[in-house]
Structures are given as C-alpha cells and as structure tokens.
Amino acid sequence: MKEIIVGIDFSKGSIHALNYAITIANKTNANILMIWVDSFSEKEGLLIKEQKLLKDDICANFNEIIKLHQPLLKQGTLSFKIRSGRVYHEIARYARLNKADLIVVGTHGVSGFEEFWVGSNAFRVVSSAPCPIITIRPSFNINKGIKKIVLPVDHTPESCQKLAFTAKLAEYFNSEIYVLALYSNNLKTINRKVDENAHTVSQFLIQKEIKHTVESVFTDDVTKTTLNFVEIVNADLLSIMTEQEISKVNILIGPSAQQFINQSSIPVLSLKPAELYEKYK
C-alpha cells in the first residue's frame, strides 16, 4: 500500500481509527493522510476572523496528533488536510486524487451517539469511497491485530470480488481466513453457486498459501448468522461487499451491509462491486 486516508473529527473514535490505521500502515509501509472537513462554518455563519481562528485551532490539534503518533509509524509519514464541504464527498475526493489504497473511519454503531461527523456520516463515506474502507468502533481492541478474518460467501458473482484485497491483508498480517458459505434458501441451483464461489475462494487461498477453513451454514438471517460466527471464531475483521443499489439520487449501501456496519463489534472491511469502482475513476 502507498496511502491510507483516515477521517478525523478529534473524537476518541476517530483517534482510535487512526491508531488502527497505523497498525495497518506499519505492516504495509503506507503513508497516512488525516482529513478534517469543516462542514459548519458557513452554516453557523462564522465570520472570516472566526474561521481563521478555527483553522488555527484545527492545525494546532493536528500538529499535536502528529507529535504523538508519528513516532508510532515505523516507515511512512503522517500528514493532514483541512477541507470544507460535505464530509463524505471530501474524503472520497482526496482518496480518488491521491489514489489511496484504503480509508479508515470510526463509527459509533446503533447504540452510540452521533454528535461527531464520523459516526453520523459513516454510511455515506462507505457509499462514496473509491477504494476499500474499514469502519471501526471505538470499543475494539486494536492490539489484537488481524489474526482471523471472516469472509462470507453467497451465490452472487460479486461475492468473490472482495477476495483479492482481503487475501492481501491476510498476507501482510499472516492471518487465517474463515470462509463462510451461506445458503439462504433451499434452491439447489442457487446453493450450487454458493458451493462454486466457496471453491473458487478456497483454491485462490491455497495458491496464495494462506491458511483458511471453509464452513457452510443454512440461514434465514445472513447478518445474524455471520455475526454469530464472528463471535464463535473470535475474529478480528469481517470482509463484506456493500451490495450497493442505485437510487434516483445516489448510490446507496444495501441493507445487509448497513446492518453489518451498525452491528459488528469488530472492524468491517467494505468493498464495492467492481463496476461501481469504475464509476468513481
């Protein structure tokens, strides 16, 4: 990896996301770019003088973060950008311009507060991201590293598209991948596609010499079954496709992806279908 972008709002959750990004950067020799987005100066009617004071305050906070966290970054550099506008748009824009490999943002989940923009904008950041993105809750113990990754597989061809990036992370961290084949109905033709996808994933991981296991399960609740499996194997990362849908006004995350991001106690790696990445180039 060359660059990881981290959304920062100076909340504990966003600093926690930064520390997680540093863990990944130290394995991949990546640089980290922190982005803070001013989404309220015009809305709050701040005067020019007040806007300058705000910018000075933000710069001072970033310089303090760099002072504390740059020594933790073994190879790369830690820098920041201050932007104005919509949070998700600016993060996606910089990720695209810098050809970032990964975005990391904090999320508070359904049980937390959303007064900080990272929590309230997590879904929009995931929706607009032009690269893989990891969302992480502040309660996750980042010292665990990434030893175990759960990779759910269904009958769709897009289900396997998350494999290459997930496998690359597994190589960096020497992780074990748990492939979870999900049968959500009794149609043999559909379930055969699940088996084919699971086989494709397994063969790829064998070629890469990545340790893995394959589990199969029938379920009428994909989210619940997957998250229960995450707890059973004590996983450190869940890799999903965003199952995005195109609406009249925007590209939206599918309901299953929303549930995973909201309910997962561990970080969630979200990837778009390939054709949607093309849209953002």
Tokens representing 155 are 């009958």
pLDDT of residue 252: 54
pLDDT of residue 274: 73
Q: In one letter, which amino acid is 238? A: L
Measure the CA–CA gap between 24 and 7, rounded to whole angstroms: 15
What tens digit of pLDDT does each residue of 1-41 get?
999 999 998 988 899 999 999 999 999 999 999 999 887 65
Q: Per-domain residue ranges for the chain?
A: 3-136, 146-279
Task: Please check whether the two domains, 3-136 and 146-279, share a CATH topology.
Answer: yes
Task: Report pTM.
Answer: 0.89
pLDDT of residue 107: 83
Q: In CATH, what number does 146-279 get?
A: 3.40.50.620
Could you tell me which residues are beta bridge partners of residue 78? 32
Measure the CA–CA gap between 14 and 20, rounded to whole angstroms: 10
* Residues ≥6 apart with Cβ < 8 Å to 114: 108, 120
Q: Which CATH architecture has domain 3-136?
A: 3-Layer(aba) Sandwich (3.40)
Exposure of 47 in the CB half-sphere (CA atoms within 13 A): 2
Position 100 pLDDT exceeds 70 = yes
Q: Contact 268/238 with Cβ under 8 angstroms?
A: yes
Q: In one letter, which amino acid is 121? A: N
Could you tell me which residues are beta bridge partners of residue 261? none
Average of per-residue pLDDT across 54-77: 94
Cα–Cα nearest to 69, from 5, 132, 22: 22
Average of per-residue pLDDT across 81-90: 88
**Cα 257–Cα 263–Cα 269 angle in degrees, nearest 5:** 50
Tokens representing 255 are 């309901």
pLDDT of residue 162: 94
What tens digit of pLDDT does each residue of 119-148 get?
456 778 888 899 999 999 988 999 889 999
* Residues ≥6 apart with Cβ < 8 Å to 125: 7, 87, 88, 91, 92, 103, 105, 133
